Chains A and B, each alone.
Chain A
Amino acid sequence: MVLLAASVALIAVALEDSITYFYTPTELLEKNVTTGESVRIGGMVVQGSINSDPDGTIRFLVTDFSNTISVAFKGITPDLFAEGQGVIAEGTLGAKGSLDAERILAKHDENYKPPEMQ
């Protein structure tokens, strides 16, 4: 019983702390998400928007066709990451309304689009 109560409490507390909300660029602008919050954004990589700094940081734009947000990411992009493809970027919201991504997810399945774009 004690064990059950402890694990329920543990799960509840952990859910409170460790979930990440998912937004489209439009939702991100509407909901006034505070700077520094950890979020996931999903959308399509804008054609011709990928470029790179000399230190390897990649910058690109993610759009849901009504709003666009810029994303900076240092690291290796996953397979199937490309311009015109669906993408999910996870990271913290920077001061200028851009996202500092820690993780980029692209879909294994080439037919994939984020749900809200279908």
Chain B
Amino acid sequence: MIANIGLLALALALPIALLQSGASLWGAQRHHDRLMQVGRNAALMQAALLALAFACLVIAFLSSDFSLALVVAHSHSAKPFLYKFAASWGNHEGSLALWVLVLALAGGALAILGESLAPRLRARALGIQGSLGVLFTGFLLFASNPFERLPTPALDGFGLNPVLQDPALAIHPPFLYFGYVGLSLPFSLAVAALLEGGISSAWARWLRITTLASWSALTIGIALGSWWAYRELGWGGFWFWDPVENASLMPWLIAIALFHCAVIVEKRGAFRQWSIFLAIIAFSLAMLGTFLVRSGVLVSVHSFATDPTRGIFILAILVCVSGGALLLFSARAARLRDDSLFAPVSREGAVLVNNLLLCCGCASVFVGTLYPLALETLNGAKVSVGAPFFNLTFAPLMLPLFFLLPLGPVLAWKQGSLLGALQRIQLAVLVGLAAIIGTLAYKGAAPLWASLAFGLGVWILVGVCCEIFQRLRSSESRPGASFWGMSLAHAGMGVLLLGVVAHSAWSIERIESLRPGDSLDVAGFNITFENTAFTRSDNFFAEQALLRVRSGNGEVFDLTAERRVYPIRATSTSESAINYSLAGDLYVVLGDNWIADAEARVFRFYWNPLVSLIWLGAALMAIGGGCCLADRRYRASRPEAKRGWESRQENLSVEEIQ
């Protein structure tokens, strides 16, 4: 019954999306207010219908409706509540339903909140959003229907893959999808601006807000995924340069470039074409990410259930949407020429370099991710591109970016002075250099880049503090939420960098086979293997190994590393034992018991210094992004004074028309 309602809502959403698209675009073309109103209402209805459809899917999972193929394949009656809930988006069909839902919600938000935009521009953006809705709702309905029934209901389900049963991973997809699909709004706004042939500062503000909001969600999504991988996969690492991870990193990088350059569009009127281009690329990469994850063309350690026909569907949509938008861009972009000049050393110049570096970084990730695919298609050779490639390309491109980061905000618009900027944050220069020397003295020169990058992290943190201090002391107006947001996000980047450097350069790994009573020393901890015990829970059995740890300062604590066997799926997983602290994590994994000696166990020990800074930094960035959104000056509904560049632009277009 519930499933029927869901299917009905989903089926109705398709014609409504068609209506949203047609009425908005046609209404904007003909200056027809009624039609544009119809388009707005259709967008709201679309959002409501898809929310209903998705709610029905969730209810089907919660009530274990085993007449649905999807529930049988991915749920089980004995599963804890949270994972029944999460199972509704932990699979291909469910996750695409979430994708389409977010797309419709974004359209609904534009319909309700977009009053500051010119009515025709908003209608066009809604029309584009509706067209995306038609494509993806159609795909969901015809190629991956989540409400498909089994000929005869099953008695019970197959359960969710046990490694996916984790609270962080349960909420990871919604954040990731809000980020991915949120980028559809900047895309729709960009295409609408191309159709319209002009932009306003309200448009630039919407571009910035929507990109920032999506980026913040994407940051949380990626960080949750990485945190899950760190704890659950038992490799002690946080990032594996896996194609699926790269797929989320690429739109994340471009989104950073986009909201920095949207600020310039709004305040100075420069970078118009470039921001439109970036908006198109950002959403294209988000769709590419969906394609890579869902089509399974790439061999990935994440390797989701795959189906080539679906991949071709998504690829076709990707080619149509991105290709169409880029064609339109090449035909129309010339109308949006910039009329703003600036010197190379200026805040605009800093954003330009920021954008270039981020785009080059993204390009290196793109090549590294897709090269194996291209090579296999061309000559059949199978290769894998791993961490060494990205360490050689991506990392050197990011280092100058980190150097520039604290300088940008202290440079003046139009014409700045590098020396003046350096003077304003000279404390950061000093402390950064001291950090480089300090790490060299303390850790040795073994990886020179590590000391350099660590120094850059400190330079960012101190630089941001200098900026805050000066801003508070100066007689200028009190800093708004967006200043605090920017400072938080920049500081978060510095914190993240410190964590990444410490983990990559200074972590310690040891593998030992121990018998009960044996002990060893790792990074100043004395660890004794006490005993093993068996336990069982709702849906698994486990062997637990108890380890007693004595730290250097005499503190004693226990760690329990676990190996679980899930009988429903006949698989086993390892549960790492981790002692978290700000200084670093002590991380122990219990190995599968392949050894003939019945009492001995193989353990892997890691000491990961400062690793928690990685997620702390990501959290700061996401909170910073959220703060920027809360700034009153960016409330979408606020009426605004026209900026200088806008009135110039209007004169220009009047001349053009004459």
Contacts and interface: CB of A to CB of B under 8 A. Distances in A.
Nearest to A20: B384
Contacts of A78: 233-235
Contact of B389 (A15, A74, A77, A111): A15
B157 interface: no
Interface in B549-603: 569, 571-574, 589-592, 594-597, 600, 602-603
Per CB-CB distance, the 10 closest pairs between chain A and chain B, nearest first, are: A22-B382, A18-B388, A56-B513, A14-B392, A76-B591, A7-B360, A18-B389, A52-B594, A79-B573, A56-B602
Nearest to B386: A20
Contacts of A112: 303
A13 interface: yes
B574 A76 contact: yes
A23 B382 contact: yes
Contacts of B342: none
Interface string B370-408: 011000000001111110110011001100000000000
A17 B385 CA distance: 10
Interface of A: 3-4, 7, 10-11, 13-15, 17-23, 40, 50-52, 54-56, 58, 74-82, 88, 90, 105, 107-112, 114-115
A37 to B, nearest CB: 13
Contact of A56 (B302, B512, B569): B512
> Which of A10, A15, A110: most chain B CB closer than 10 A?
A15
30 contacts: A3-B353, A3-B356, A7-B393, A10-B397, A11-B368, A14-B364, A14-B393, A17-B388, A19-B372, A19-B384, A20-B385, A50-B594, A51-B596, A52-B595, A55-B513, A56-B591, A76-B591, A76-B592, A77-B591, A78-B234, A78-B235, A79-B573, A80-B571, A107-B301, A108-B163, A109-B305, A110-B571, A111-B305, A112-B303, A115-B299
Nearest to B360: A7
B364 A7 contact: yes
Contacts of B574: 76, 79
B304 A109 contact: yes
A18 B386 contact: yes
B164 to A, nearest CB: 8
A77 B649 CA distance: 63
Contacts, number: 132
A21 B385 contact: no
Given A76-B234, A79-B234, A79-B573, A3 B511 contact: no
Interface string B531-563: 000000000000000000000000000000000
B310 interface: no
Nearest to A3: B356
Given A3-B357, A54-B595, A18 B589 contact: no
B371 A15 contact: yes
> Which of A11, A21, A54, A74: most chain B CB closer than 10 A?
A11
A61 to B, nearest CB: 14
Nearest to A23: B382
Interface in B469-510: none
A76 B393 contact: no
Contacts of B571: 79-80, 110
A11 B393 contact: yes
A83 B162 CA distance: 19
Contacts of A51: 594, 596
Contacts of A7: 360, 363-364, 393, 397
B367 interface: yes
Interface in B327-370: 353, 356-357, 360, 363-364, 367-368
Contact of A11 (B303, B367, B600): B367
A21 B392 CA distance: 18
A14 B161 contact: no
A110 B392 CA distance: 34
Contacts of A111: 305
B424 interface: no
Interface in B593-619: 594-597, 600, 602-604
B392 A18 contact: yes
Contact of A108 (B161, B590, B596): B161
Contacts of A22: 299, 382-384
A92 to B, nearest CB: 14
Interface string B231-246: 0011100000000000
A11 B388 CA distance: 12
A65 to B, nearest CB: 18
A13 B388 CA distance: 12
A55 B602 CA distance: 9
Contacts of A82: 572
A47 B305 CA distance: 25
A27 B436 CA distance: 48
Contacts of A58: 594
Contacts of B161: 108-110
A17 B389 CA distance: 8
Given A56-B511, A110-B571, A76 B589 contact: yes
A67 to B, nearest CB: 16
> Which of A10, A52, A58, A115: most chain B CB closer than 10 A?
A52
